[in-house]
């Protein structure tokens, strides 16, 4: 957001609750849509991404002990790039800007005036506008009156794993198995990112390394000799699965963007990309407001973003429900789910729809 505003000659200050070391090291998303990569290149922020990122022209749905490839580039002309969110954060920070780390006690004030304020421990900022890019648990959304929340909690969670092991496949694998979903991804040629569907009440302490690898071998097994490479597990965490949308995304001079306004289940790889789409729209609106004294893009900001947000929510929900086996699923619904998955993998039209959404709709 700050780099987009700087390009338009608008000064900004970034307040970050955590330390620089923390935000540069925490592992989050890793799939960059084509429009995200294009924007980073346009801003001159993709030098390392182009050197170290892993372009993928497809991914596989794995079921019935076989791979069924979705040929992203062949179907859409676009691709995805695997490049960790923390690496993008490093690149953004290294490119400069007024970033203040370890900031606490943040509160926003006077958002219905043309001079909103931010107070924090040890300081105060008088602003033209405030962009709440502070995540689901931040202070921006609670400061907005009359926000309507839409939420869905899924009856399972993801056990996320980072392994010091060479990836076992050159593309992502989304596996649907009778024991539950599994995902094989990567963060680099030496580090594999893996996920297992687990019950929402599971505790990380109950998942030993040996139990994890046994379960991954079962869910990722094929009849063509696929071999899952093991290695030391560097990180283990359990993430609840939920969807959330706040409407509207703006009140007065306070604007929400990214996870402050919406959460998607990670199956569709949309979270980081949605946030980048938000701030691109917002930067254009704020440029029109502050440089040209135009209100039209500010007024339409929320509606413009929410159209994309709800499309991403629908796609992420489709991917999630098609690939996961919910607790207590009966045979009727299990067969319906597998029919949808088999149709998606065998129909060019259905596969194209999946591919078009996966590589990213145009900004």
Q: Binning pLDDT at 50, 70 and 90, where does residue 363 land?
A: confident
Catalytic residue among 156, 195, 301, 358: 358
207-210-212-213 Cα dihedral, nearest 10 degrees: 180
Q: What is the reported pLDDT for 29?
A: 83
Whether 137 is catalytic is no
279-281-287-293 Cα dihedral, nearest 10 degrees: -130
Mean pLDDT on 107-126: 97
Catalytic residue among 174, 177, 262, 265: 174
- Contact (CB, 8 A) for 1 and 134: no
Mean pLDDT on 49-62: 97
What sign does the dihedral 164-165-166-168 (CA atoms) show?
negative
- Contact (CB, 8 A) for 207 and 159: yes
Catalytic residue among 116, 270, 301, 324: 270
Nearest to 70 by CA among 56, 50, 84, 87: 56
Catalytic residue among 3, 35, 56, 156: 56
Whether 56 is catalytic is yes
Distances (CA, A) of 182 to 63, 93, 213, 256, 265: 11, 33, 12, 33, 14
Mean pLDDT of the chain: 97
Nearest to 327 by CA among 265, 267, 241: 241
Give the CATH H-level superfamily of domain 2-151+242-359: FAD/NAD(P)-binding domain (3.50.50.60)
Query: How is the chain split into domains, by residue range?
Result: 2-151+242-359
Cα separation of 225 and 165, whole Å?
19
Global pTM value: 0.95
Whether 195 is catalytic is no
Catalytic residue among 167, 184, 266, 324: 266
Nearest to 176 by CA among 69, 325, 317, 314: 325
- Contact (CB, 8 A) for 144 and 245: no
Q: What is the reported pLDDT for 210?
A: 97
Q: What is the reported pLDDT for 230?
A: 98
**Where are the alpha helices (H) located in the chain, listed in sequence order?**
2-7, 20-25, 34-42, 47-52, 72-76, 85-94, 209-220, 271-292, 296-323, 331-346, 348-359
Q: Which residues contact 336 (CB under 8 A, 6 or more apart)?
A: none
- Contact (CB, 8 A) for 29 and 266: yes
Residue-wise pLDDT for 183-226, tens only, equals: 999 988 999 999 999 999 999 999 999 999 999 999 999 999 89
Q: What is the reported pLDDT for 28?
A: 82
Q: What is the reported pLDDT for 150?
A: 98
Cα separation of 18 and 115, whole Å?
26
Q: What is the DSSP string of 30-97?
A: -EEPHHHHHHHHHTT--HHHHHH-EEES-EEEEETTEEEEE-HHHHHS--EEE--HHHHHHHHHHT--
Cα separation of 219 and 65, whole Å?
9
């Amino acid at each position: 957001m700050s780099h987009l505003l700087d390009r338009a000659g608008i000064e900004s200050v970034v307040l970050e609750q955590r330390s620089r070391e923390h935000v540069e090291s925490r592992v989050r998303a890793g799939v960059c849509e084509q429009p995200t990569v294009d924007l980073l290149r346009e801003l001159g922020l993709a030098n390392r991404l182009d050197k170290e990122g892993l372009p993928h022209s497809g991914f596989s749905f794995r079921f019935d002990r076989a791979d069924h490839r979705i040929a992203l580039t062949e179907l859409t002309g676009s691709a995805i790039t695997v490049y960790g969110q923390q690496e993008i954060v490093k690149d953004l920070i290294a490119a400069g800007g007024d970033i203040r780390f370890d900031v606490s006690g943040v509160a926003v004030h006077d958002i219905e005036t043309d001079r909103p304020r931010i107070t924090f421990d040890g300081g105060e900022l008088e602003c033209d506008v405030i962009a709440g890019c502070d995540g689901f648990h931040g202070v921006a959304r609670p400061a907005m009156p009359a926000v309507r929340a839409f939420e869905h909690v899924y009856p399972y969670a993801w056990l996320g794993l980072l392994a010091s092991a060479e990836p076992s496949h050159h593309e992502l694998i989304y596996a649907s198995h009778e024991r539950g979903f599994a995902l094989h991804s990567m963060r680099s040629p030496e580090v594999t990112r893996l996920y297992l569907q687990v019950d929402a009440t599971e505790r990380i302490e109950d998942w030993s390394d040996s139990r994890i690898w046994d379960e991954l071998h079962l869910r990722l097994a094929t009849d063509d000799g696929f071999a899952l490479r093991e290695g030391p597990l560097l990180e283990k965490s359990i993430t609840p699965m939920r969807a959330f949308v706040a409407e509207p995304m703006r009140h007065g001079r306070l604007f929400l963007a990214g996870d402050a306004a919406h959460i998607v289940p990670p199956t569709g790889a949309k979270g980081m990309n949605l946030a980048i789409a938000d701030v691109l729209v917002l930067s254009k609106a704020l440029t029109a407001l502050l440089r040209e004294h135009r209100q039209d893009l500010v007024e339409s900001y929320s509606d413009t973003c929410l159209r994309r947000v709800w499309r991403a929510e629908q796609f992420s929900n489709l991917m999630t429900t098609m690939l996961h086996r919910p607790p207590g699923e009966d045979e009727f619904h299990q067969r319906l789910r597998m029919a949808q998955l088999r149709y998606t993998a065998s129909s060019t039209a259905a596969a194209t729809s999946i591919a078009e959404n996966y590589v990213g709709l145009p900004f």
